[in-house]
Amino acid sequence: MVRKVIDNWSSPNWWVSSAIPYAGKRAAKAYYDLKGRHDIIASEWDNLILLDACRFDMFQTASDIDGSISKTISKGSTTKEFLENTFSNAEYYDTVYVTSNPQYVNVGLNDVFHAVIDVWDWGISTNWKSKLCPSDDVSTWFV
């Protein structure tokens, strides 16, 4: 890495495309490793709404949701890392996964949920409630 810095010291493009993103990923990983991570699967919930890349303070100000909302630190600082650390190596046949993000397919989570509602693929207006069972937990992810 030191050699790359020396070779590209005066290249603004290299700093923008390589060095800064690399440093940002390392810093995010260190932050999440230090702060600890919340296991949402072990928590008690019936409806879980994940707001990816949404500032909690802004959501809290704009939200009119009845009941309690809380901020937690997830098991990943990227979508892929979150999905792998949260849902891999288990089956969640009592959970319906409503998502606007197709990354679960790339991580190999196609068959671990009771149902997956791909709103990114066919839209939120489709009658997706027909895929739910009365006892299902619903995890909804908006990016």
List pLDDT tens digits, range 46-76: 777 777 777 888 888 888 878 778 777 777 7
Q: Residue ranges of the domains in the chain? A: 2-35, 47-142
Rounded CA separation 130/71 (Å): 31
The fraction of the chain above a pLDDT of 70, given in percent, is 73
pLDDT tens for residues 85-117? 888 888 888 888 888 888 888 888 888 888 888
Rounded CA separation 21/91 (Å): 34
Q: What residues does 116 pair with on adjacent strands? A: 97
Q: What per-residue confidence (pLDDT) applies to 66?
A: 80
What's the whole-number average pLDDT of the chain? 75
CB half-sphere exposure, 104, CA atoms < 13 A: 25
In order of 49, 72, 93, the CA distances from 132 in angstroms are 16, 27, 11
